[in-house]
Amino acid sequence: MQNGMHTDRERCVRAVQSKDARFDGWFFTAVLTTRIYCRASCPVVPPKPENMVFHPSAAACQQAGFRACKRCRPDTSPGSPEWNQRADLVARAMRLIADGVVDRDGVPGLAARLGYSTRQVERQLLAEVGAGPLALARAQRAQTARLLIETTPLPMAELAFAAGFSSIRTFNDTVREVYALSPTELRGRRPKKATAALTPGVLTLRLPFRAPLNPDNLFGHLVATAVPGVEEWRDGAYRRTLRLPYGHGIVALAPKSDHIACRLTLSDLRDLTVAISRCRRMLDLDADPVAVDDQLRTDPLLAPLVDKAPGRRVPRTVDEAEFAVRAVLGQQVSTAAARTHAARLVVAHGDPVDDPEGGLTHLFPTPEALAALVPESLAMPRTRRTTFTTLVRQLADGTLQLGPDSDWPETRAALLSLPGFGPWTADVIAMRALGDPDAFLATDLGIRRAAQELGLPSTPAALMARATAWRPWRAYATQYLWATDSHPINFLPV
């Protein structure tokens, strides 16, 4: 698939007529006769082709005067894979908007993060997504409001501000315009048994994804490398603490056949949108597994691995700086040793949290807290100590910035300039923290061992040359190659 699928009218019509869920989030169908917009897989009888128009985003549909379908709920579609497989201005802007930057810092703050003028950002978003940053943020607020209306007992006034609206009137007008129902009417449609099960401060959500999704390496990796006190596997769910803009949270994520069950506890409900966005990024839920696997199957040596367990995702992170620190702690040591190093830092420098439902105790320490520690207190070789202290100092003072808006090539180059940073460390951060779908760990021991077993070139240079055929999905090829090993990262915990 390529950017701008909504402009391929014939292809969009075929997808709608076949109710193909693979295209949910790639485009939205607006129906001229009913003035509603739907996802591609809407279960109702498809409209006549002459009554369909196609838009690249829910915000563009709303700006054009269409309201969301009550049957297929297009606002709950998986996000477009485009924004996680590209590193250009529009993709970086979309990732920042999903992370709540416009709500917190306005459009000027978004533009400043991207290094462009507000006019340039607005012009490019309008050209490609059909809506500017304010409209995109408004659509996101409407979706958050609906979630809160349906999953919490909050009074509407409190809920409106938690969803990011500046006034009750704007909240009421937006919900009515987008969903053709008032907030009270939306809540009235909720099943009564669901109302009785609500717990104050706890939200239970379903995170959608495009099938297939193989949870083995995804949850296996997160749990096998989990830092005690920050992460755990409990009752069939991966649980971890979250450091968020307005407070902190605890999330439990459990794989189901057609969604990820998500249980969120937040100290400040204004963090809901950001928490969901970061959990989706960590689990790579907006990926297009069919496009990825089709490309990797073209290599006859990879094809059997893909056919055996299709739909592997890249396990990522909820905090880019945290992951970079943990990558350094994991240099040239075992997984168990890396966890031990991280756990000591958590106890000494992390912020404590209460977790009545499990065994989580701390937030991972901030770069600022780690930059203030005494280097000699670190139980690691002097060279790695220098690597660690240089990294946390640059993260703390802003010299190095890691986030959803990072330019992948520029950030990789900045990482490689740090003492003790080689290709493996830079590439694992690019793959799992920055979300680069084409990052490839040619020097990784597990990858080289898998290559040798499969008959692929085993030297880094030769393997890198062979891997060009897997572009732009080499990070996913990494997951399939790792899966040939019996390491715990490849198995769903029991």
DSSP assignment of 115-176, as one string? TS-HHHHHHHHHHHHSS-HHHHHHHHHHHHHHHHHHH----HHHHHHHTT-S-HHHHHHHHH
Positions of CATH 1.10.340.30 in the chain: 320-490
Q: What six digits make up the tokens of 369?
A: 């807290």
Residue 200 has pLDDT above 80, yes or no: no
CATH code, 202-288:
3.30.310.20
Question: Which entry of 299, 405, 436, 444 is annotated as an active-site residue?
Answer: 444
Angle between helices 89-98 and 272-282 (to 10 degrees): 120
CA distances (Å), origin 111, targets 11, 116, 121, 288, 321:
34, 5, 6, 28, 22
Residue 6 has pLDDT above 90, yes or no: no
- The class (CATH top level) of 320-490 is mainly alpha
pLDDT at 2: 40
Residue found under tokens 């703390």 = 396
Among 45, 68, 43, 46, CA closest to 55? 68
| Assigned fold of 83-151+153-190 | Arc Repressor Mutant, subunit A (1.10.10)
CB under 8 Å to 234, separation ≥6 — which residues? 252, 358, 359
Is residue 174 a contact partner of residue 145, using CB atoms and an 8 Å limit? yes
Query: pLDDT digit string (tens) for 224-261?
Result: 999 999 999 999 999 999 999 999 999 999 999 999 99
pLDDT tier, 193 (very low <50, low <70, confident <90, very high otherwise): low
pLDDT tier, 191 (very low <50, low <70, confident <90, very high otherwise): confident
Residue 336 has pLDDT above 60, yes or no: yes
| pTM, rounded to two decimals | 0.90
Residue 460 has pLDDT above 50, yes or no: yes
Mark whether 444 is an active-site residue: yes
Query: pLDDT digit string (tens) for 30-89?
Result: 999 999 999 999 999 999 999 999 999 999 999 999 999 999 999 888 888 888 888 899
Residue 1 has pLDDT above 50, yes or no: no
Is residue 100 a contact partner of residue 138, using CB atoms and an 8 Å limit? no
Residue 197 has pLDDT above 60, yes or no: no
- Find the mean pLDDT for residues 441-453: 95
Q: What six digits make up the tokens of 265?
A: 């506890």
Among 450, 413, 412, 457, CA closest to 431? 412
The mean of the pLDDT values for the chain is 93
**Strands 260-266, 202-207: parallel, antiparallel or unpaired by DSSP?**
antiparallel
Number of Cβ atoms within 10 Å of the Cβ of 490: 19
Residue 353 has pLDDT above 50, yes or no: yes
CA distance 100 to 141: 9
CATH code, 5-55:
3.40.10.10
pLDDT at 80: 84
Residue 138 has pLDDT above 60, yes or no: yes
Question: Which entry of 12, 38, 42, 262 is annotated as an active-site residue?
Answer: 38
Is residue 273 a contact partner of residue 443, using CB atoms and an 8 Å limit? no
CB under 8 Å to 433, separation ≥6 — which residues? 316, 317, 320, 323, 324, 327, 402
- Find the mean pLDDT for residues 143-147: 91
Q: Phi and psi dihedrals of 116, rounded to 5?
A: -125, 170
CA distance 421 to 261: 37
Query: pLDDT digit string (tens) for 383-428?
Result: 999 999 999 999 999 999 999 999 999 999 999 999 999 999 999 9
Number of alpha carbons in the 13 Å side-chain half-sphere of residue 250: 22
Query: pLDDT digit string (tens) for 80-122?
Result: 888 888 889 999 999 999 999 999 999 999 999 999 999 999 9
Angle between helices 335-349 and 320-329 (to 10 degrees): 130
